[in-house]
Amino acid sequence: MPALLTRVRHLGTGLAALLALADPAQRRLWGEMRAYVRGLPALLSAPLPAVLAAQTPAAPDLSLPEPALRRLADAAALFERRSPLGLCLRRSLVRYHYLRRAGVPLTLNFGARFTGGQADRDVTGHAWVTLNGAAYHEDGENYQDFVTMLKYPPA
């Protein structure tokens, strides 16, 4: 059942973003976000601290409402199916970069947990963003039980 709910949620994300494309400003930003997500694998070939610093804007320069930006960012990450990067990493990075450009002070989180909660199992990783210390539009099962390995920017 959770897989079905995730697919329905992804369909809603995609439809909401497509409906927003009637606005020329959002259509331009959508194209920029798609290019950004496609460029993430090359971008991440550099050392992570340098990459994250470069993705943190010095000052806000976007004025679209936060919900619209988040929907576009989520859809841009979702639609890049051929990326070697996982959806959570793509979504977290595009949310972080673009919502910070709108003045939303998100924090990037990278974590790990043992599959099944046992140390003799495989390790899985996850990336998510937080706002004021709380998970930002993230289902609990997607971040709970993960040990945070890195937060950016550091507290």
Residue 138, CA atoms < 13 Å, CB-side half-sphere = 24
Cβ atoms within 10 A of the Cβ of 49, count?
Answer: 11
* CB of 77 closer than 8 Å to CB of 14: no
- Encode burial over 14-44: b for 16+ CB neighbours within 10 A, e otherwise: eebbeebeeeeebeebbeebbebbeebeeee
Instruction: Summarize pLDDT for 6-42 with one digit per residue, the tens.
Output: 555 555 555 656 666 678 888 899 999 999 999 999 9
Q: Which residues contact 110 (CB under 8 A, 6 or more apart)?
A: 125, 126, 127, 148, 149, 150, 151
| All structural domains of the chain with their residue ranges | 2-152
Cis peptide before 153 (omega within 30 of 0): yes
The reported pTM is 0.84
Instruction: Summarize pLDDT for 129-139 with one digit per residue, the tens.
Output: 999 999 999 88
Q: What is the pLDDT of residue 60?
A: 96
Instruction: Summarize pLDDT for 59-112 with one digit per residue, the tens.
Output: 999 999 999 999 999 999 999 989 999 999 999 999 999 999 999 999 999 998
